[in-house]
């Protein structure tokens, strides 16, 4: 995937689609029981996009595609959702791939099969493929969360038409549904060491095709030396700011920004501020073997007198 031009002008989101194609399937359902999803597209180009954190009008949950197969991510849908009090996401449905939620603010109610849970900030919810689920805000305060729809075989499993992936579902018992709720450990400032201090809560060793974790960096610290890898990586900023090396550019990512790092792009990140920085990191998908990162050395510009590489020989 080619590196994109540096352009950080935020465009007003637009309504991307409606769920009209499912209307005949839903029959006489009304109100919040309909499989409706108000979803918009963030049209910003480039590696950094900023989520719309304004309060939605009325009691309507609004989702924003920050990146997807048609807008910067080849391997997943990265979605930021805002749920005012007493609002509801799509009614009980399934996806053919894993669906992850990370609560960022407020409390989110989630039904997994027939079991219901209430989860607060910095809690992950890992919904396996083909599992009936739905989310809503039963509280009096606004709620916001990040969603990730991904698989081990995105070229095969992730459609460019997100609507077509949702299927209305009936409730059924899911064994060990409570194991879908994952605590995200946040290291205390005194526990931070040089580096990323990653706290992963789902990955291949835990049965997931992707890695999701929390990275925390102290001022002056950050990721490894500039490197590349064969998978896509995504940051979602939840606190502070970080300087991102992206090819030859060094943009600054702030809270509520998503950073898209396609496979093969030289990158790293450094906390050059005076505050602790934290971001959610996604590996899409997680490779099946090491090494994950391959160090990349930046050298001087190619000069006019540079010699061509030797011809290959058998």
In order, the DSSP letters of 172-202 are: ---TTGGGGEEE-----GGG--SS---EEEE
**Better-predicted residue by pLDDT, 248 or 20:** 248
pTM of the predicted model as reported, rounded to 2 decimal places: 0.85
Alpha carbons 81 and 99: distance in angstroms, whole number: 13
Q: How large a percentage of the chain has pLDDT more than 90?
A: 77
Alpha carbons 200 and 270: distance in angstroms, whole number: 19
Residues 213 and 272 in one domain: yes
Q: Which of the four pLDDT bands, split at 50, 70 and 90, describes residue 34?
A: low
Asked whether residue 60 carries a pLDDT value surpassing 70, the answer given is yes
Residues 142 and 275 in one domain: no
Domain count along the chain = 2
Range with lowest mean pLDDT among 19-23, 137-141, 157-161, 261-265: 19-23
102-112: b (≥16 Cβ within 10 Å) or e? bbbbbbbbbbb
Closest C-alpha to 34, from 46, 47, 24, 44: 24
Residue 240 domain-assigned (yes or no): yes
Residue 261 domain-assigned (yes or no): yes
Residues 26 and 118 in one domain: yes
Range with lowest mean pLDDT among 18-32, 122-136, 157-171: 18-32
Residues 120 and 209 in one domain: no
Residues 203 and 128 in one domain: no
Residue 241 domain-assigned (yes or no): yes
Mean of the per-residue pLDDT values of the chain: 87
Cα–Cα separations (whole angstroms), residue 273 to 147, 183, 218, 254: 28, 28, 9, 11
Asked whether residue 31 carries a pLDDT value surpassing 80, the answer given is no
Which of residues 130, 160, 183 is at a domain's end?
A: 183
Residues 134 and 26 in one domain: yes
185-207: b (≥16 Cβ within 10 Å) or e? eeeeeeebeeebbebbbbeeeee
Which of residues 183, 212, 231 is at a domain's end?
A: 183
pLDDT digits (tens, 9 = 90+) for 237-292: 999 999 999 999 999 999 999 999 999 999 999 999 999 999 999 999 988 777 78
Asked whether residue 149 carries a pLDDT value surpassing 60, the answer given is yes
Range(s) of the domain holding residue 255: 189-295
Residues 164 and 99 in one domain: yes
Residues 177 and 240 in one domain: no
Residues 157 and 271 in one domain: no
Closest C-alpha to 225, from 252, 195, 261, 198: 195
Residues 283 and 216 in one domain: yes
Residues 212 and 142 in one domain: no
Residue 3 domain-assigned (yes or no): no
Alpha carbons 279 and 255: distance in angstroms, whole number: 8
Residues 73 and 207 in one domain: no
Residue 1 domain-assigned (yes or no): no
Asked whether residue 21 carries a pLDDT value surpassing 80, the answer given is no
For position 237, which CATH number holds?
A: 2.60.120.10
* Helix (H) or strand (E) segment spanning residue 134: strand 133-136
| CB of 157 closer than 8 Å to CB of 150 | no
Residue 308 domain-assigned (yes or no): no
- pLDDT for residue 246: 96
Closest C-alpha to 10, from 53, 40, 45: 45
Q: Which of the four pLDDT bands, split at 50, 70 and 90, describes residue 27?
A: very low
């Amino acid at each position: 995937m080619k590196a994109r031009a540096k352009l950080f002008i935020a465009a007003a989101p637009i309504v991307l689609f409606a769920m009209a194609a499912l209307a005949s399937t839903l029959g006489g359902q009304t109100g919040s029981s309909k499989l409706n999803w108000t979803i918009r597209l963030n049209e910003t180009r480039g590696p950094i996009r900023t989520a719309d954190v304004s309060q939605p009008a009325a009691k309507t949950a609004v989702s924003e595609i920050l990146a997807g197969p048609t807008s910067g991510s080849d391997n997943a849908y990265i979605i930021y959702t805002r749920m005012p009090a007493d609002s509801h996401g799509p009614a009980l449905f399934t996806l053919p791939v894993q669906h992850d939620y990370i609560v960022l603010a407020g409390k989110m109610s989630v039904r997994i099969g027939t079991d219901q849970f209430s989860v607060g900030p910095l809690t992950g919810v890992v919904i396996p493929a083909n599992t009936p689920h739905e989310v809503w805000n039963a509280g009096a305060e606004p709620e916001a969360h990040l969603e990730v729809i991904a698989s081990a075989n995105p070229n095969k499993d992730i459609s460019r038409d997100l609507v077509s992936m949702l299927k209305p579902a009936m409730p059924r018992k899911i064994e060990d549904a409570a194991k879908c709720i994952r605590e995200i450990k946040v290291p205390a400032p005194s526990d931070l060491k040089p580096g990323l201090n990653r706290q992963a809560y789902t990955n291949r060793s835990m049965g997931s095709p992707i890695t999701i974790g929390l990275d925390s960096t102290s001022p002056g610290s950050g990721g490894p030396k500039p490197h590349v890898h064969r998978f896509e990586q995504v940051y979602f900023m939840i606190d502070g700011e970080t300087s991102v090396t992206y090819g030859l550019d060094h943009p600054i990512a702030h809270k509520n920004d998503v950073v898209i790092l396609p496979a093969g792009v030289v990158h790293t990140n450094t906390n050059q501020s005076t505050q602790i920085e934290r971001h959610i990191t996604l590996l899409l998908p997680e490779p099946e073997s090491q090494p994950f990162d391959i160090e990349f050395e930046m050298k001087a510009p190619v000069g006019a007198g540079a010699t061509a590489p030797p011809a290959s020989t058998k």
